[in-house]
């Protein structure tokens, strides 16, 4: 097991800052907690269903699974205000519809994408927000405050910094969360952009999904510090470490950073320790079972975020033992999990998106040559 291990249940801030004594989770209601649980199922089901669709030959293109990492997305996004910005990357596909989804899954006006839009993108149809011009997670929305990523990792951090710089000039109080893998923290632009954000105390929260593997390279060969969050020390900003399997710990740490940013104190790095369930993309699944030690894979997948959340909810008295046993998607991989393992509203929600996408046409061929430049005004 690497020293920068995903199994560490870390609960510390490597740079002390004015962290409030009351944890953000202490202000969550029972309904909030149950919604978090439901969203974990939704993110998991999205992953499971797409893997099944791909295996049935219904999908082309590479899938980048977020299996086992859902608590990071759900816990990071839950506390944001609608006007806040996010910048997801390849393993964060559920983030597009999870943004601002809280209790309002069907609202087309909410500041997040509809499931129909996201599915249209996955299927490469014209109703994708980007009209299927770039693939997979390379979508976004200016009006919904979602930054469009490229394949160049960490490349959206300066963009995020620019967005909130402009927002602040306009008198806004928006925060931007950028999601990144631990591998991308070796990129120059990661450091250049966070340095700039720290100089200007810009409200940028850099969430690091440390899943221990950057494609085929382990974290020990990517980052020399004990925690990736230690990189924050060089910028004089908080570097928090969260247990990426525990949605409440992610929520605590990210919300601490978000409130710090919103208060004008500047950026933070929040490292969420987790473990990548499958290959880098589904093309890599078989090889990932060979280049990663079997014991490491087994250990890394013992702490399913759905199980951990369920146990917390039972302990809080928010779920009865009977309710807790209802849907057992956790611990199952995509081929094992069935629709009955998920709440029916989760299955219905995604199915509706897929049905829409399948009816959406492919873009007209001539669109390939459009929008290189802005149309003359």
Least spacing, CB of residue 368 vs another protein, in Å: 10
Residue 30 CA to chain centroid, in angstroms? 23
Q: Does 332 bind another protein (CB under 8 A)?
A: no
Stretch that binds another protein, among 21-29, 154-162, 296-304, 341-349 (CB under 8 A): 154-162
Least spacing, CB of residue 302 vs another protein, in Å: 38
Least spacing, CB of residue 84 vs another protein, in Å: 13
Query: Which residue, among 214, 238, 229, has the nearest Cα to 272 in the 3D structure?
Result: 229
Residues 71, 272: Cα–Cα separation, whole Å = 9
Q: Does 55 bind another protein (CB under 8 A)?
A: no
Residues 159, 179: Cα–Cα separation, whole Å = 13
Least spacing, CB of residue 213 vs another protein, in Å: 23
Q: Does 374 bind another protein (CB under 8 A)?
A: yes
Stretch that binds another protein, among 21-29, 58-66, 138-146, 217-225 (CB under 8 A): 138-146
154: which 2 tokens?
Answer: 């960490």
Q: 297 vs 114, 242, 276, CA distance in Å?
A: 34, 20, 8
Residues 271, 250: Cα–Cα separation, whole Å = 9
Residues 225, 315: Cα–Cα separation, whole Å = 35
Residue from 122, 164, 337, 347 touching another protein (CB under 8 A): that is: 164
Q: Which is nearer to another protein, 129 or 244 (CB)?
A: 129
Q: Does 171 bind another protein (CB under 8 A)?
A: no
Q: Does 86 bind another protein (CB under 8 A)?
A: no
- Token match 């992953």: residue? 47
Residues 51, 303: Cα–Cα separation, whole Å = 21
Q: Does 343 bind another protein (CB under 8 A)?
A: no
Residue 177, H or E segment: strand 176-181
As a whole number of Å, the end-to-end CA separation of the chain is 59
- Token match 């030959």: residue? 57
- Token match 């923290």: residue? 185
Helix crossing, 70-77 with 247-262: angle to 10°?
40
Q: Does 47 bind another protein (CB under 8 A)?
A: no
Q: Does 372 bind another protein (CB under 8 A)?
A: yes
Q: Does 196 bind another protein (CB under 8 A)?
A: yes
Residue 242: strand, helix, or coil: strand
Residues 232, 300: Cα–Cα separation, whole Å = 25
Q: 201 vs 15, 57, 168, 263, 366, CA distance in Å?
A: 16, 48, 11, 10, 45
Q: Does 88 bind another protein (CB under 8 A)?
A: no
Residue from 5, 17, 62, 141 touching another protein (CB under 8 A): that is: 141
Q: Does 134 bind another protein (CB under 8 A)?
A: yes
Stretch that binds another protein, among 109-117, 158-166, 241-249, 291-299 (CB under 8 A): 158-166
Stretch that binds another protein, among 37-45, 51-59, 141-149, 262-270 (CB under 8 A): 141-149
Q: How many residues of this chain bind another protein (CB under 8 A)?
A: 43
Q: Which is nearer to another protein, 117 or 245 (CB)?
A: 117
Residue from 27, 152, 362, 364 touching another protein (CB under 8 A): that is: 152
Q: Does 147 bind another protein (CB under 8 A)?
A: yes
Q: Which is nearer to another protein, 232 or 346 (CB)?
A: 232
Q: Does 56 bind another protein (CB under 8 A)?
A: no
Q: Are strands 85-87 and 12-13 parallel, antiparallel or unpaired?
A: unpaired
User: Which residues would be at the binding site for another protein (CB under 8 A)?
Assistant: 129-131, 133-134, 138, 140-142, 147-148, 150-152, 155, 157-167, 169-170, 188-189, 192-193, 195-196, 199, 367, 370-375, 377
């Amino acid at each position: 097991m690497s020293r920068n291990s995903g199994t560490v249940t870390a609960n510390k801030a490597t740079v002390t800052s004015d962290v409030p004594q009351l944890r953000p989770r202490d202000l969550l209601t029972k309904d909030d907690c149950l919604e978090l649980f439901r969203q974990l199922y939704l993110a998991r089901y999205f992953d499971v269903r797409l893997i099944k669709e791909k295996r049935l030959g219904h999908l082309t293109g590479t899938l980048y699974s977020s299996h086992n990492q859902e608590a990071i997305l759900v816990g990071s996004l839950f506390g944001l205000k609608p006007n806040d910005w996010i910048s997801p990357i390849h393993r964060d596909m559920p983030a597009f519809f999870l943004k601002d989804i809280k209790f309002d899954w069907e609202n087309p006006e909410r500041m997040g994408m509809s499931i129909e839009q996201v599915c249209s993108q996955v299927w490469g149809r014209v109703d994708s927000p980007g009209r299927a011009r770039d693939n997979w997670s390379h979508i976004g929305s200016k009006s919904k405050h979602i930054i469009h990523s490229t394949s160049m990792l960490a490349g959206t951090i300066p963009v995020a910094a620019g967005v909130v710089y402009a927002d602040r000039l306009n008198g806004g109080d928006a925060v931007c969360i950028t999601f990144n893998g631990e591998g991308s923290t070796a990129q120059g632009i990661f450091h250049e952009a966070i340095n700039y954000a720290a100089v200007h105390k810009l409200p940028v929260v850099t969430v690091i999904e440390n899943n221990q593997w950057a494609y085929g390279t382990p974290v020990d060969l990517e980052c020399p510090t004990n925690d990736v969050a230690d990189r924050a020390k060089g910028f004089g900003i908080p570097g928090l470490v969260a247990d990426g399997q525990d949605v409440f710990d992610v929520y605590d740490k990210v919300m601490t950073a978000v409130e710090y940013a919103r208060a004008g104190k500047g950026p933070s790095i929040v490292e969420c320790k987790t473990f990548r369930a499958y290959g880098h993309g589904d093309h890599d699944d078989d090889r990932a079972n060979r280049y990663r030690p079997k014991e490491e894979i087994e250990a890394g997948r013992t702490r399913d975020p759905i199980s951990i959340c369920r146990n917390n909810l039972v302990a809080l008295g928010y779920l009865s033992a009977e309710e807790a046993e209802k849907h057992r998607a956790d611990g199952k991989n995509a081929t094992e999990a069935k629709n009955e393992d998920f709440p029916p509203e989760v299955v219905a929600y995604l199915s509706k998106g897929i049905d829409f996408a399948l009816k959406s046409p492919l873009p007209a061929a001539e669109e390939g040559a459009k929008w290189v430049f802005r149309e003359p005004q």
